[in-house]
Structure 1
Amino acid sequence: MNDASPSYRLLPGAPESPVLLHVPHSSRVIPAAVRDAIVLDDVALERELDHITDAYTDRIAERAAGRSAVRPWRFVNQLSRLVIDPERFPDEREEMLAVGMGAVYTRTTHGEVLRPAGDDGRPLGGQSLVDRYFHPYAAAMTHAVTHLLETVGRAVVIDVHSYPTEPLPYELHGEGPRPPVCLGSAPFHTSADLLAAAEDAFAGFGGIGVNSPFGGAYVPLKYYGHDPRVTALMIEIRRDVYMTEPGGPAGRGVGALAEALARLVDVLTTV
């Protein structure tokens, strides 16, 4: 199975691999029509992209895939999360609506206006973005997981993210610990064995936390909360581990993180 669109890319793994590396926030690309509705000037927008983008996480996942004994699948968002955030709920279940960061953001990381909103706080034109980008992305991710279930019998979704060393104003839970590597777990879908495998793989980075400052893991809603064949984990890497903040160049940590992720992929492929 191979699938691609201007907004996402699915890169096939080995036929026997159950692992899907999901990279939702690494891109800075904003289509021109979407850019027109963002009120920030170009300088402010570039600064916001520096803060909000999980820079180089696609590179970490790519290198990990190349170093794994059995190549995992990769699903990579080709557009910035300022277009749509594919990991949000598209409705009132999303807690980040409180800071203007639902599936379509109306506020920046620092609380400034990103795009206009109506009296109800919903982004003007937001539904068209959800219909054009969010739903097709979610459907493609669901299809990818379904394919793994049908061919391998299980699916392991590993989210690859990063986060800033210092908390940003938009963070709802930024007061907690900020370890070099944070593991996000999802009820029902993240087992103790999965967490332990990740803790072992990333043990060399000076500290690991769970669900702080960010928690949860992505599971397609079709399988969320009821299908034990789908397991999931989020890996959040503190950015000073591998890059210059904000938005600066990558460092040698990229290679070490890719090696750690490859070790995790190998363990999860064989269990």
Structure 2
Amino acid sequence: MIPEPAPFTLVPGGAGSPVLLHVPHSSRTVPEQVRGGILLDDEALESELDHITDSHTARLAALASEACAVSPWRFVNGLSRLVVDPERFPDDREEMLAAGMGAVYTRTTRREPLRPPGADPEPLLDRYFHPYARAMTAAVDERLAATGRAVVIDVHSYPTTALPYELHGTGPRPPICLGTDGFHTPPGLLTLAEAAFARFGGTALNSPFPGTYVPLKHYGTDPRVGALMIEIRRDLYMTEPGGPAGPGLEALASALAQLVDGLTEA
């Protein structure tokens, strides 16, 4: 039997760094036992992975970390979001659930069936979603204990042209979308991000994707936890939909490193 790949990895950074780069959607890996519950054939699955994966964002975060004066910590999902999406709510509070893209997707990016009707999500939630959430919570707790604060920077990308599953796909699609939270994204964090990514032709707030990731333990209650989602339009650094990275990746890594350094110094 082929060993199951690691579901996630916490890459240590500097002891004094409060920053945690969170990379949840960079992997294309679907374990064989999960693949058996997906309706797509191999060709259709590869096409779906091309469109749904935030390709090269793990490499982007690694390059940025290497360029920082004090390396941030990195929490990287080792599995595709087609296994579970760790950034969704596991219950009906998440609007994407209605589109078939809750914590366990039942629809593809084109709103076609991904799993059989009535498939039970609980085994996948128990095996992958809840352990991921616990580990991410622990990683934030460790930064709080070590530095007195934690800043979660969510690293994502999105396609130049809206996909059918996007609930807010008619809004602006800027080079850099900054997803914010009214409680966890202080003005200083936003100012640093806008300055770091200004070179790419502009940023916009919460369009086409709003919000950012904070563990539920801390969400809305712990002001020591800051958070920001960075959504990078894919034409800036790669061939779409699922092709290789280009030279823009290094420039984006430099901008991300600038942001991290600013947060560490602050």
Corresponding letter in the other structure for 1:102: G
Give yes or no for the alignment of 1:262 onto 2:244.
Answer: no
Q: How far off its partner does 1:13 sit?
A: 0.5
1:200-211 aligned within 5 A: 200-211=195-206
Q: How far off its partner does 1:186 sit?
A: 1.2
Corresponding letter in the other structure for 2:244: P
Q: Match for residue 231 of structure 2?
A: 236
Q: How far off its partner does 1:140 sit?
A: 0.1
Corresponding letter in the other structure for 1:261: L
Give yes or no for the alignment of 1:135 onto 2:126.
Answer: no
Give yes or no for the alignment of 1:144 onto 2:139.
Answer: yes
Q: Match for residue 115 of structure 1?
A: 115
TM-score by length of 1: 0.96
SS in 1 for 2:131: helix
Q: Match for residue 121 of structure 1?
A: none
Match for residue 213 of structure 2 among 215, 218, 221: 218
SS in 1 for 2:74: strand
Q: Deviations over 1:163-197 (max 9, x none)?
A: 00000000000010000000000120001111111
| Structure 1 CA distance for aligned equivalents of residues 37 and 120 of structure 2 | 9
Q: Deviations over 1:33-61 (max 9, x none)?
A: 00000000000000000000000000100
Q: Deviations over 1:238-257 (max 9, x none)?
A: 00000000001100010000
1:145-184 aligned within 5 A: 145-184=140-179
Unmatched 5+ stretches in structure 1? 119-123
Q: Match for residue 18 of structure 1?
A: 18
Q: Match for residue 43 of structure 2?
A: 43
| Structure 2 CA distance for aligned equivalents of residues 218 and 91 of structure 1 | 16
SS in 2 for 1:212: coil
SS in 1 for 2:54: coil
| Structure 2 CA distance for aligned equivalents of residues 134 and 52 of structure 1 | 18
| Structure 1 CA distance for aligned equivalents of residues 144 and 132 of structure 2 | 19
Aligned residue pair count: 262
Q: How far off its partner does 1:21 sit?
A: 0.1
| Structure 2 CA distance for aligned equivalents of residues 177 and 195 of structure 1 | 19
Give yes or no for the alignment of 1:195 onto 2:184.
Answer: no
Give yes or no for the alignment of 1:186 onto 2:181.
Answer: yes
SS in 1 for 2:55: coil
| Structure 1 CA distance for aligned equivalents of residues 14 and 180 of structure 2 | 26
Q: Percent identity?
A: 69
Q: How far off its partner does 1:207 sit?
A: 1.3
SS in 1 for 2:256: helix
Q: How far off its partner does 1:24 sit?
A: 0.1
Q: Match for residue 252 of structure 1?
A: 247
Unmatched 5+ stretches in structure 2? none
Structure 1 runs (4+) greater than 4 angstroms displaced: none
| Structure 2 CA distance for aligned equivalents of residues 187 and 35 of structure 1 | 38
| Structure 2 CA distance for aligned equivalents of residues 104 and 117 of structure 1 | 13
Cα-Cα RMSD? 0.7
